[in-house]
Amino acid sequence: MRRPVVLLLAVTLAGGALSAQPAHSHSRLRSDAAAVRYEAESALISQGTVASNHPGFTGSGFVDYDNTPGGFIEFTVTAAGPGDASLGLRFANGTAADRPLDITVNGAAVAAGLPFGPTGGWSSWQTRTLTAALEQGANTVRVSAPGALGGPNLDSLTVGGGAVATDWSAALVESTMARYTPSSIGGWSYPVGLYLYGQYLVYQRTGDARHLAFIKSYADRFVDSAGNIGQSFGNLDSMQAGRLLNILHKETGQSRYQRAAKKIRDRLNTYPRTSEGGFWHSTSESRRSQLWADGVYMVNPFLVEYGKEFGDTAYAADEAAKQLAVYGGRLQVANGLLRHAWDESGAASWADARTGLAPEHWCRAIGWYSMAIVDVLDAIPADHARRARLLTLLRNLATGIERYQDPATGRWFQVVDKGAQSGNWTETSCSSMFTFALSRSVQRGYIDSRYASVAQRGYQGVLAKISLDGDNRTRLTDISVGTNVGSYSYYIQRERKTNDFHGLGAFLIMNEQLAVR
Protein backbone atom coordinates (compact mmCIF):
# COMPACT_ATOMS: atom_id res chain seq x y z
CA MET A 1 0.00 0.00 0.00
CA ARG A 2 1.38 3.43 -0.89
CA ARG A 3 1.27 6.04 1.82
CA PRO A 4 -0.72 9.20 1.18
CA VAL A 5 1.43 12.16 0.24
CA VAL A 6 -0.41 15.39 -0.52
CA LEU A 7 -3.94 15.96 0.69
CA LEU A 8 -4.45 19.06 -1.42
CA LEU A 9 -2.31 21.35 -3.47
CA ALA A 10 -3.37 24.58 -5.11
CA VAL A 11 -1.49 27.28 -6.96
CA THR A 12 -2.13 31.01 -6.75
CA LEU A 13 -0.27 33.66 -8.71
CA ALA A 14 1.01 36.62 -6.76
CA GLY A 15 -1.38 39.51 -6.55
CA GLY A 16 -4.46 37.28 -6.36
CA ALA A 17 -4.96 37.05 -10.11
CA LEU A 18 -5.65 33.33 -9.91
CA SER A 19 -7.20 31.19 -7.22
CA ALA A 20 -7.15 27.41 -7.35
CA GLN A 21 -10.37 26.94 -5.42
CA PRO A 22 -13.61 27.90 -7.17
CA ALA A 23 -16.44 29.31 -5.11
CA HIS A 24 -18.32 26.05 -4.55
CA SER A 25 -19.76 24.90 -1.28
CA HIS A 26 -18.79 21.57 0.24
CA SER A 27 -19.65 20.02 3.56
CA ARG A 28 -15.99 19.26 4.29
CA LEU A 29 -14.84 22.85 3.88
CA ARG A 30 -14.01 24.78 7.00
CA SER A 31 -12.38 28.10 7.78
CA ASP A 32 -8.89 28.01 9.28
CA ALA A 33 -7.73 30.31 12.04
CA ALA A 34 -6.43 33.75 11.10
CA ALA A 35 -3.42 33.55 8.82
CA VAL A 36 0.02 33.72 10.36
CA ARG A 37 3.03 34.31 8.12
CA TYR A 38 6.41 32.86 9.03
CA GLU A 39 9.32 34.41 7.13
CA ALA A 40 11.81 31.91 5.70
CA GLU A 41 14.80 34.07 6.64
CA SER A 42 13.82 33.73 10.32
CA ALA A 43 13.55 29.92 10.21
CA LEU A 44 16.24 27.29 10.78
CA ILE A 45 18.21 27.06 7.51
CA SER A 46 20.49 24.26 6.33
CA GLN A 47 22.37 24.52 3.01
CA GLY A 48 20.86 27.84 2.02
CA THR A 49 21.48 31.54 2.43
CA VAL A 50 19.33 34.57 3.13
CA ALA A 51 19.18 36.87 0.10
CA SER A 52 17.38 40.03 -0.96
CA ASN A 53 18.55 40.56 -4.54
CA HIS A 54 15.18 39.83 -6.20
CA PRO A 55 12.31 42.23 -5.47
CA GLY A 56 8.82 41.31 -4.33
CA PHE A 57 9.69 39.35 -1.19
CA THR A 58 8.04 39.90 2.18
CA GLY A 59 9.94 40.55 5.40
CA SER A 60 13.65 41.23 5.12
CA GLY A 61 14.53 38.69 2.45
CA PHE A 62 14.11 35.11 1.24
CA VAL A 63 16.06 31.86 1.35
CA ASP A 64 18.15 30.82 -1.65
CA TYR A 65 18.72 27.05 -1.39
CA ASP A 66 22.20 25.81 -2.27
CA ASN A 67 22.35 23.92 -5.57
CA THR A 68 22.73 20.58 -3.83
CA PRO A 69 20.37 17.95 -2.40
CA GLY A 70 19.53 17.89 1.29
CA GLY A 71 19.05 21.55 2.13
CA PHE A 72 16.05 22.44 4.27
CA ILE A 73 14.17 25.27 5.93
CA GLU A 74 12.53 24.38 9.23
CA PHE A 75 9.69 26.47 10.63
CA THR A 76 8.21 26.24 14.13
CA VAL A 77 4.52 27.09 13.91
CA THR A 78 1.91 27.24 16.64
CA ALA A 79 -1.66 25.90 16.40
CA ALA A 80 -4.41 26.79 18.87
CA GLY A 81 -5.85 23.28 18.53
CA PRO A 82 -5.44 20.06 16.56
CA GLY A 83 -6.79 19.73 13.02
CA ASP A 84 -6.18 20.40 9.35
CA ALA A 85 -4.66 23.72 8.33
CA SER A 86 -3.58 25.24 5.05
CA LEU A 87 0.17 25.74 4.53
CA GLY A 88 1.05 28.31 1.86
CA LEU A 89 4.64 28.30 0.55
CA ARG A 90 5.54 31.50 -1.34
CA PHE A 91 8.30 30.83 -3.85
CA ALA A 92 9.97 31.89 -7.08
CA ASN A 93 11.77 29.75 -9.65
CA GLY A 94 13.47 31.65 -12.44
CA THR A 95 14.92 28.58 -14.15
CA ALA A 96 13.30 26.26 -16.69
CA ALA A 97 13.66 23.24 -14.39
CA ASP A 98 11.40 21.90 -11.67
CA ARG A 99 12.85 22.26 -8.15
CA PRO A 100 10.78 19.78 -6.10
CA LEU A 101 10.41 19.90 -2.33
CA ASP A 102 9.65 17.36 0.39
CA ILE A 103 7.45 18.62 3.22
CA THR A 104 7.12 17.05 6.65
CA VAL A 105 5.10 18.11 9.69
CA ASN A 106 6.41 16.89 13.02
CA GLY A 107 8.54 14.36 11.16
CA ALA A 108 5.64 12.84 9.18
CA ALA A 109 5.70 13.14 5.39
CA VAL A 110 3.01 15.39 3.93
CA ALA A 111 4.42 15.75 0.40
CA ALA A 112 7.27 13.98 -1.36
CA GLY A 113 8.87 15.35 -4.53
CA LEU A 114 6.25 18.10 -4.78
CA PRO A 115 6.82 20.06 -8.03
CA PHE A 116 7.84 23.71 -7.74
CA GLY A 117 8.09 24.53 -11.41
CA PRO A 118 9.19 27.67 -13.24
CA THR A 119 7.38 30.87 -12.30
CA GLY A 120 8.73 32.94 -15.19
CA GLY A 121 11.45 34.76 -13.24
CA TRP A 122 13.11 35.11 -9.85
CA SER A 123 10.91 38.11 -9.10
CA SER A 124 7.69 36.32 -10.09
CA TRP A 125 6.39 34.96 -6.81
CA GLN A 126 3.69 32.31 -6.55
CA THR A 127 2.10 30.55 -3.58
CA ARG A 128 1.60 26.80 -3.47
CA THR A 129 -0.84 25.67 -0.81
CA LEU A 130 -1.28 22.26 0.76
CA THR A 131 -3.33 20.94 3.65
CA ALA A 132 -1.73 19.19 6.63
CA ALA A 133 -2.74 18.07 10.11
CA LEU A 134 -1.28 20.13 12.95
CA GLU A 135 -1.09 19.32 16.65
CA GLN A 136 -2.08 21.74 19.37
CA GLY A 137 0.86 23.89 20.33
CA ALA A 138 4.24 23.91 18.59
CA ASN A 139 4.67 22.11 15.26
CA THR A 140 7.80 21.62 13.16
CA VAL A 141 7.33 22.14 9.41
CA ARG A 142 10.41 21.17 7.40
CA VAL A 143 10.71 22.03 3.70
CA SER A 144 13.56 19.99 2.16
CA ALA A 145 15.13 20.02 -1.29
CA PRO A 146 15.81 16.44 -2.50
CA GLY A 147 17.09 17.34 -5.97
CA ALA A 148 20.56 18.25 -7.21
CA LEU A 149 19.41 21.79 -8.08
CA GLY A 150 18.18 22.48 -4.55
CA GLY A 151 14.85 24.18 -4.00
CA PRO A 152 13.25 27.32 -5.40
CA ASN A 153 13.76 30.62 -3.65
CA LEU A 154 11.43 30.43 -0.63
CA ASP A 155 9.99 33.64 0.79
CA SER A 156 7.59 32.56 3.53
CA LEU A 157 5.19 30.01 4.98
CA THR A 158 1.64 31.16 5.71
CA VAL A 159 -0.42 28.97 8.03
CA GLY A 160 -4.22 29.22 8.07
CA GLY A 161 -6.31 32.09 6.82
CA GLY A 162 -8.41 30.24 4.28
CA ALA A 163 -10.71 27.33 3.66
CA VAL A 164 -9.45 23.80 3.34
CA ALA A 165 -10.31 23.29 -0.30
CA THR A 166 -11.81 20.29 -2.01
CA ASP A 167 -9.46 17.64 -3.36
CA TRP A 168 -11.21 17.58 -6.72
CA SER A 169 -9.47 14.41 -7.91
CA ALA A 170 -10.55 12.41 -4.88
CA ALA A 171 -14.03 13.91 -4.98
CA LEU A 172 -14.44 13.07 -8.67
CA VAL A 173 -13.28 9.47 -8.19
CA GLU A 174 -15.54 8.97 -5.18
CA SER A 175 -18.48 10.44 -7.09
CA THR A 176 -17.88 8.25 -10.13
CA MET A 177 -17.47 5.10 -8.03
CA ALA A 178 -20.76 5.98 -6.34
CA ARG A 179 -22.47 6.31 -9.74
CA TYR A 180 -21.05 3.14 -11.30
CA THR A 181 -19.84 -0.31 -10.36
CA PRO A 182 -17.02 -2.04 -12.27
CA SER A 183 -19.77 -3.94 -14.11
CA SER A 184 -21.97 -0.98 -14.98
CA ILE A 185 -19.31 1.57 -15.93
CA GLY A 186 -19.28 0.37 -19.54
CA GLY A 187 -17.59 -2.00 -21.93
CA TRP A 188 -13.98 -2.23 -23.07
CA SER A 189 -13.51 1.26 -24.48
CA TYR A 190 -11.08 4.13 -24.63
CA PRO A 191 -13.26 6.66 -22.70
CA VAL A 192 -13.60 4.28 -19.76
CA GLY A 193 -9.93 3.33 -20.10
CA LEU A 194 -8.97 7.00 -20.02
CA TYR A 195 -11.03 7.63 -16.90
CA LEU A 196 -9.67 4.57 -15.09
CA TYR A 197 -6.11 5.56 -15.97
CA GLY A 198 -6.84 8.89 -14.29
CA GLN A 199 -8.27 7.01 -11.30
CA TYR A 200 -5.02 5.05 -11.10
CA LEU A 201 -3.05 8.30 -10.86
CA VAL A 202 -5.22 9.25 -7.88
CA TYR A 203 -4.59 5.82 -6.35
CA GLN A 204 -0.85 6.34 -6.73
CA ARG A 205 -1.13 9.46 -4.61
CA THR A 206 -3.69 8.40 -2.02
CA GLY A 207 -2.93 4.69 -1.70
CA ASP A 208 -6.68 4.03 -1.39
CA ALA A 209 -6.96 0.31 -2.18
CA ARG A 210 -10.59 0.69 -3.28
CA HIS A 211 -9.48 2.73 -6.28
CA LEU A 212 -7.17 0.00 -7.56
CA ALA A 213 -9.66 -2.78 -6.75
CA PHE A 214 -12.27 -1.03 -8.89
CA ILE A 215 -9.87 -0.91 -11.86
CA LYS A 216 -8.96 -4.58 -11.41
CA SER A 217 -12.60 -5.65 -11.21
CA TYR A 218 -13.32 -3.77 -14.44
CA ALA A 219 -10.40 -5.36 -16.30
CA ASP A 220 -11.23 -8.82 -14.99
CA ARG A 221 -14.53 -8.67 -16.86
CA PHE A 222 -12.48 -8.96 -20.06
CA VAL A 223 -9.35 -10.91 -19.07
CA ASP A 224 -9.79 -14.51 -17.94
CA SER A 225 -7.52 -16.53 -15.70
CA ALA A 226 -5.42 -17.65 -18.68
CA GLY A 227 -4.92 -14.11 -19.99
CA ASN A 228 -7.38 -14.40 -22.88
CA ILE A 229 -9.10 -11.18 -23.88
CA GLY A 230 -12.00 -11.16 -26.31
CA GLN A 231 -10.94 -8.20 -28.42
CA SER A 232 -9.79 -8.25 -32.04
CA PHE A 233 -8.04 -4.86 -31.82
CA GLY A 234 -9.12 -3.84 -35.29
CA ASN A 235 -8.82 -0.14 -34.50
CA LEU A 236 -6.56 2.04 -32.39
CA ASP A 237 -9.39 3.14 -30.10
CA SER A 238 -9.71 -0.42 -28.76
CA MET A 239 -6.07 -0.44 -27.63
CA GLN A 240 -6.14 2.51 -25.19
CA ALA A 241 -7.57 0.57 -22.25
CA GLY A 242 -4.58 -1.75 -22.61
CA ARG A 243 -2.75 0.69 -20.34
CA LEU A 244 -4.74 -0.84 -17.51
CA LEU A 245 -3.23 -4.25 -18.30
CA ASN A 246 0.29 -2.87 -17.93
CA ILE A 247 -0.73 -1.24 -14.65
CA LEU A 248 -2.34 -4.36 -13.24
CA HIS A 249 0.69 -6.49 -14.06
CA LYS A 250 2.87 -3.95 -12.29
CA GLU A 251 0.59 -3.87 -9.25
CA THR A 252 -0.26 -7.57 -8.95
CA GLY A 253 2.49 -9.44 -10.78
CA GLN A 254 -0.12 -11.71 -12.38
CA SER A 255 1.13 -13.01 -15.72
CA ARG A 256 -2.35 -13.12 -17.23
CA TYR A 257 -2.27 -9.35 -17.63
CA GLN A 258 0.98 -9.61 -19.56
CA ARG A 259 -0.53 -12.21 -21.90
CA ALA A 260 -3.55 -9.99 -22.52
CA ALA A 261 -1.36 -6.93 -23.16
CA LYS A 262 0.85 -8.92 -25.52
CA LYS A 263 -2.15 -9.46 -27.76
CA ILE A 264 -2.17 -5.73 -28.47
CA ARG A 265 1.59 -5.66 -28.91
CA ASP A 266 1.49 -8.58 -31.34
CA ARG A 267 -1.43 -7.04 -33.25
CA LEU A 268 0.80 -4.12 -34.18
CA ASN A 269 3.04 -6.49 -36.16
CA THR A 270 0.31 -6.93 -38.76
CA TYR A 271 -1.71 -3.75 -38.27
CA PRO A 272 -2.11 -1.82 -41.54
CA ARG A 273 -0.07 1.32 -42.12
CA THR A 274 0.26 4.21 -44.51
CA SER A 275 3.21 4.24 -46.92
CA GLU A 276 5.19 6.21 -44.30
CA GLY A 277 4.42 3.65 -41.60
CA GLY A 278 1.65 5.42 -39.72
CA PHE A 279 -0.99 3.16 -38.19
CA TRP A 280 -4.41 3.52 -39.80
CA HIS A 281 -7.00 4.80 -37.38
CA SER A 282 -9.05 1.68 -38.04
CA THR A 283 -9.01 -1.35 -40.30
CA SER A 284 -12.63 -0.72 -41.33
CA GLU A 285 -13.19 0.27 -44.94
CA SER A 286 -14.47 3.73 -43.98
CA ARG A 287 -11.19 4.52 -42.16
CA ARG A 288 -8.83 2.97 -44.69
CA SER A 289 -5.51 4.84 -45.14
CA GLN A 290 -6.49 7.50 -42.60
CA LEU A 291 -4.50 9.03 -39.75
CA TRP A 292 -6.58 10.67 -37.00
CA ALA A 293 -4.79 12.75 -34.37
CA ASP A 294 -6.82 10.87 -31.73
CA GLY A 295 -5.06 7.64 -32.62
CA VAL A 296 -1.63 8.49 -31.29
CA TYR A 297 -2.94 8.54 -27.72
CA MET A 298 -4.88 5.33 -28.19
CA VAL A 299 -1.78 3.23 -28.80
CA ASN A 300 1.51 4.99 -28.05
CA PRO A 301 1.29 5.60 -24.28
CA PHE A 302 0.26 1.95 -23.96
CA LEU A 303 3.20 0.94 -26.12
CA VAL A 304 5.95 2.74 -24.21
CA GLU A 305 4.51 1.57 -20.90
CA TYR A 306 4.36 -1.99 -22.26
CA GLY A 307 8.00 -1.73 -23.30
CA LYS A 308 9.05 -0.59 -19.83
CA GLU A 309 6.99 -3.19 -17.97
CA PHE A 310 7.91 -6.17 -20.15
CA GLY A 311 11.43 -5.43 -21.38
CA ASP A 312 10.50 -4.40 -24.92
CA THR A 313 11.76 -0.83 -24.69
CA ALA A 314 13.81 -0.70 -27.89
CA TYR A 315 10.88 -1.54 -30.15
CA ALA A 316 8.37 0.43 -28.11
CA ALA A 317 10.43 3.63 -28.06
CA ASP A 318 11.23 3.47 -31.76
CA GLU A 319 7.69 2.67 -32.84
CA ALA A 320 6.01 5.25 -30.62
CA ALA A 321 8.43 7.99 -31.65
CA LYS A 322 7.94 7.09 -35.30
CA GLN A 323 4.16 7.24 -35.01
CA LEU A 324 4.25 10.69 -33.38
CA ALA A 325 6.63 11.93 -36.06
CA VAL A 326 4.59 10.54 -38.96
CA TYR A 327 1.30 11.81 -37.61
CA GLY A 328 2.76 15.19 -36.73
CA GLY A 329 4.37 15.53 -40.13
CA ARG A 330 1.06 14.99 -41.88
CA LEU A 331 -1.35 16.75 -39.52
CA GLN A 332 0.50 19.80 -38.18
CA VAL A 333 0.13 22.99 -40.21
CA ALA A 334 1.77 26.42 -40.14
CA ASN A 335 -0.15 27.74 -37.11
CA GLY A 336 1.24 24.90 -34.95
CA LEU A 337 -2.12 23.15 -34.56
CA LEU A 338 -3.05 19.79 -36.04
CA ARG A 339 -5.94 19.09 -38.35
CA HIS A 340 -8.22 16.35 -37.09
CA ALA A 341 -7.27 13.81 -39.76
CA TRP A 342 -5.47 13.04 -43.01
CA ASP A 343 -6.41 10.55 -45.73
CA GLU A 344 -3.53 9.21 -47.82
CA SER A 345 -5.93 7.97 -50.49
CA GLY A 346 -7.84 11.25 -50.65
CA ALA A 347 -11.08 9.27 -50.95
CA ALA A 348 -12.75 10.51 -47.75
CA SER A 349 -15.51 13.07 -48.28
CA TRP A 350 -13.81 15.46 -45.86
CA ALA A 351 -10.31 15.20 -47.39
CA ASP A 352 -8.92 18.25 -49.18
CA ALA A 353 -8.27 17.35 -52.81
CA ARG A 354 -4.69 18.67 -52.69
CA THR A 355 -3.50 17.92 -49.14
CA GLY A 356 -5.77 15.10 -47.98
CA LEU A 357 -6.34 17.00 -44.73
CA ALA A 358 -9.57 17.40 -42.79
CA PRO A 359 -10.92 20.97 -42.82
CA GLU A 360 -10.88 21.83 -39.10
CA HIS A 361 -8.81 21.90 -35.91
CA TRP A 362 -10.97 19.91 -33.51
CA CYS A 363 -9.81 20.56 -29.99
CA ARG A 364 -9.85 17.09 -28.44
CA ALA A 365 -8.04 15.52 -31.39
CA ILE A 366 -5.23 18.00 -30.78
CA GLY A 367 -5.50 17.35 -27.06
CA TRP A 368 -4.96 13.63 -27.59
CA TYR A 369 -1.84 14.35 -29.61
CA SER A 370 -0.50 16.83 -27.05
CA MET A 371 -0.78 14.32 -24.20
CA ALA A 372 0.65 11.47 -26.28
CA ILE A 373 3.75 13.34 -27.38
CA VAL A 374 4.53 14.32 -23.78
CA ASP A 375 4.01 10.74 -22.55
CA VAL A 376 6.32 9.42 -25.26
CA LEU A 377 9.02 12.05 -24.64
CA ASP A 378 8.89 11.12 -20.96
CA ALA A 379 9.53 7.48 -21.85
CA ILE A 380 12.06 7.39 -24.69
CA PRO A 381 15.83 7.70 -24.14
CA ALA A 382 17.31 11.20 -24.02
CA ASP A 383 19.51 10.39 -27.02
CA HIS A 384 16.77 8.86 -29.16
CA ALA A 385 17.21 9.69 -32.85
CA ARG A 386 13.70 11.14 -33.20
CA ARG A 387 13.71 13.15 -29.96
CA ALA A 388 14.69 16.43 -31.60
CA ARG A 389 11.91 16.04 -34.17
CA LEU A 390 9.32 15.37 -31.47
CA LEU A 391 10.46 18.39 -29.49
CA THR A 392 10.08 20.58 -32.57
CA LEU A 393 6.55 19.28 -33.12
CA LEU A 394 5.70 19.88 -29.46
CA ARG A 395 7.14 23.40 -29.40
CA ASN A 396 5.26 24.37 -32.54
CA LEU A 397 2.09 22.94 -31.02
CA ALA A 398 2.62 24.86 -27.78
CA THR A 399 2.86 28.07 -29.80
CA GLY A 400 -0.48 27.31 -31.44
CA ILE A 401 -2.14 26.33 -28.19
CA GLU A 402 -1.03 29.58 -26.57
CA ARG A 403 -2.18 31.65 -29.55
CA TYR A 404 -5.74 30.36 -29.45
CA GLN A 405 -6.35 30.26 -25.68
CA ASP A 406 -9.57 32.12 -24.86
CA PRO A 407 -8.45 35.22 -22.91
CA ALA A 408 -11.81 35.47 -21.14
CA THR A 409 -11.96 31.94 -19.68
CA GLY A 410 -8.49 30.42 -20.08
CA ARG A 411 -10.04 27.44 -21.87
CA TRP A 412 -9.94 26.44 -25.55
CA PHE A 413 -12.73 26.30 -28.13
CA GLN A 414 -14.30 23.20 -29.69
CA VAL A 415 -12.91 24.38 -33.04
CA VAL A 416 -9.71 25.80 -31.69
CA ASP A 417 -8.85 28.57 -34.13
CA LYS A 418 -12.39 29.91 -34.65
CA GLY A 419 -13.33 31.14 -31.20
CA ALA A 420 -14.91 34.30 -32.59
CA GLN A 421 -17.30 32.47 -34.91
CA SER A 422 -20.95 31.96 -34.13
CA GLY A 423 -21.86 28.96 -32.02
CA ASN A 424 -18.35 27.97 -30.95
CA TRP A 425 -17.89 27.06 -27.29
CA THR A 426 -15.09 26.24 -24.86
CA GLU A 427 -14.71 22.51 -24.32
CA THR A 428 -13.58 21.03 -21.01
CA SER A 429 -11.78 17.82 -21.99
CA CYS A 430 -9.39 19.41 -24.48
CA SER A 431 -8.78 22.32 -22.12
CA SER A 432 -7.70 19.78 -19.50
CA MET A 433 -5.47 18.01 -22.02
CA PHE A 434 -3.75 21.18 -23.19
CA THR A 435 -3.26 22.32 -19.61
CA PHE A 436 -1.66 19.00 -18.65
CA ALA A 437 0.60 18.93 -21.71
CA LEU A 438 1.88 22.46 -21.21
CA SER A 439 2.45 22.03 -17.48
CA ARG A 440 4.28 18.71 -17.82
CA SER A 441 6.33 20.04 -20.74
CA VAL A 442 7.48 23.04 -18.72
CA GLN A 443 8.27 20.77 -15.77
CA ARG A 444 10.37 18.50 -17.98
CA GLY A 445 12.09 21.37 -19.79
CA TYR A 446 10.60 20.52 -23.18
CA ILE A 447 9.20 24.02 -23.74
CA ASP A 448 9.91 27.52 -22.47
CA SER A 449 8.99 28.29 -18.87
CA ARG A 450 6.65 31.09 -19.96
CA TYR A 451 4.05 28.45 -20.84
CA ALA A 452 3.59 27.77 -17.12
CA SER A 453 1.33 30.81 -16.94
CA VAL A 454 -0.66 29.58 -19.96
CA ALA A 455 -1.18 26.28 -18.15
CA GLN A 456 -2.25 28.05 -14.98
CA ARG A 457 -4.87 30.09 -16.86
CA GLY A 458 -6.10 26.88 -18.44
CA TYR A 459 -6.25 25.19 -15.06
CA GLN A 460 -8.35 27.93 -13.55
CA GLY A 461 -10.65 27.81 -16.57
CA VAL A 462 -11.24 24.09 -16.15
CA LEU A 463 -11.78 24.40 -12.40
CA ALA A 464 -14.62 26.80 -13.16
CA LYS A 465 -16.42 23.87 -14.83
CA ILE A 466 -16.40 21.54 -11.82
CA SER A 467 -18.77 21.82 -8.88
CA LEU A 468 -20.71 19.74 -6.37
CA ASP A 469 -24.38 18.91 -6.80
CA GLY A 470 -27.03 18.58 -4.12
CA ASP A 471 -25.83 15.06 -3.31
CA ASN A 472 -22.27 16.33 -2.80
CA ARG A 473 -21.12 14.62 -6.00
CA THR A 474 -18.98 16.26 -8.65
CA ARG A 475 -20.40 17.76 -11.85
CA LEU A 476 -17.96 18.41 -14.70
CA THR A 477 -19.71 20.22 -17.54
CA ASP A 478 -19.33 21.11 -21.23
CA ILE A 479 -17.64 17.93 -22.44
CA SER A 480 -18.00 17.03 -26.11
CA VAL A 481 -19.27 13.54 -26.86
CA GLY A 482 -17.26 11.29 -29.16
CA THR A 483 -16.79 12.87 -32.54
CA ASN A 484 -16.00 11.85 -36.10
CA VAL A 485 -14.27 14.04 -38.70
CA GLY A 486 -16.56 16.77 -39.94
CA SER A 487 -17.26 20.40 -40.76
CA TYR A 488 -17.32 23.43 -38.48
CA SER A 489 -21.09 23.17 -38.03
CA TYR A 490 -20.78 19.46 -37.20
CA TYR A 491 -18.29 20.07 -34.39
CA ILE A 492 -20.08 22.96 -32.72
CA GLN A 493 -23.37 21.07 -32.78
CA ARG A 494 -21.96 18.08 -30.92
CA GLU A 495 -23.72 17.35 -27.63
CA ARG A 496 -22.21 19.00 -24.56
CA LYS A 497 -22.43 16.48 -21.74
CA THR A 498 -21.85 16.52 -17.99
CA ASN A 499 -19.57 13.88 -16.44
CA ASP A 500 -18.69 12.29 -19.78
CA PHE A 501 -15.71 9.97 -19.35
CA HIS A 502 -13.63 11.88 -21.93
CA GLY A 503 -13.73 14.86 -19.60
CA LEU A 504 -13.45 12.96 -16.32
CA GLY A 505 -10.28 11.17 -17.36
CA ALA A 506 -8.66 14.26 -18.83
CA PHE A 507 -9.53 16.25 -15.70
CA LEU A 508 -7.88 13.70 -13.41
CA ILE A 509 -4.72 13.59 -15.51
CA MET A 510 -4.55 17.39 -15.47
CA ASN A 511 -5.42 17.79 -11.81
CA GLU A 512 -2.89 15.24 -10.62
CA GLN A 513 -0.24 17.13 -12.58
CA LEU A 514 -1.10 20.66 -11.52
CA ALA A 515 -2.91 20.47 -8.22
CA VAL A 516 -1.96 17.54 -6.07
CA ARG A 517 1.14 15.84 -7.31
What whole-number distance in Å separates Cα of residue 257 and Cα of residue 204? 19
For range 207-225, the mean pLDDT: 96
- Which top CATH class is 33-165? mainly beta
User: Where would I find the beta strands (DSSP E) of 319-465?
Assistant: 341-343, 412-413, 426-427
Q: What percentage of the chain carries pLDDT values higher than 90?
A: 80
The structural domains of the chain, with segments of one domain joined by +, span 33-165, 169-513
What whole-number distance in Å separates Cα of residue 48 and Cα of residue 149? 12
pLDDT, residue 112, reads 84
Q: Identify whether the C-beta of residue 312 lies closer than 8 Å to the C-beta of residue 326.
A: no
Q: How many CA atoms lie within 13 A of 108 on its CB side?
A: 12
When pLDDT is cut at 50, 70 and 90, the band that residue 297 belongs to is very high
Q: Do domains 33-165 and 169-513 have the same CATH topology?
A: no
- pLDDT tens for 109-142 read 988 888 888 877 898 888 888 888 899 999 999 9
pLDDT, residue 132, reads 87
For range 195-217, the mean pLDDT: 95
pLDDT, residue 27, reads 29
Asked if 294 is an active-site residue, the reply is yes
pLDDT, residue 86, reads 85
Could you name the CATH architecture of 169-513?
Alpha/alpha barrel (1.50)
Q: Within 10 A of 277 (CB to CB), how many other CB atoms are there?
A: 11
pLDDT, residue 163, reads 54
DSSP letters for 441-460: HHHHTSS-TTHHHHHHHHHH
Q: What percentage of the chain carries pLDDT values higher than 70?
A: 92
What whole-number distance in Å separates Cα of residue 153 and Cα of residue 446? 22
Q: Within 10 A of 224 (CB to CB), how many other CB atoms are there?
A: 13
Query: Could you tell me the pTM of the whole model?
Result: 0.74
Query: 346-350: long-range contacts at Cβ-Cβ below 8 A with a sequence spacing of 24 or more?
Result: 347/288, 347/289, 348/290, 348/485, 350/485, 350/486, 350/487
- With 60 as the cut, is the pLDDT of residue 30 above it? no
**Set 32, 98, 167, 294: catalytic member:** 294
pLDDT, residue 23, reads 29
As a whole number, the mean pLDDT across the chain is: 91
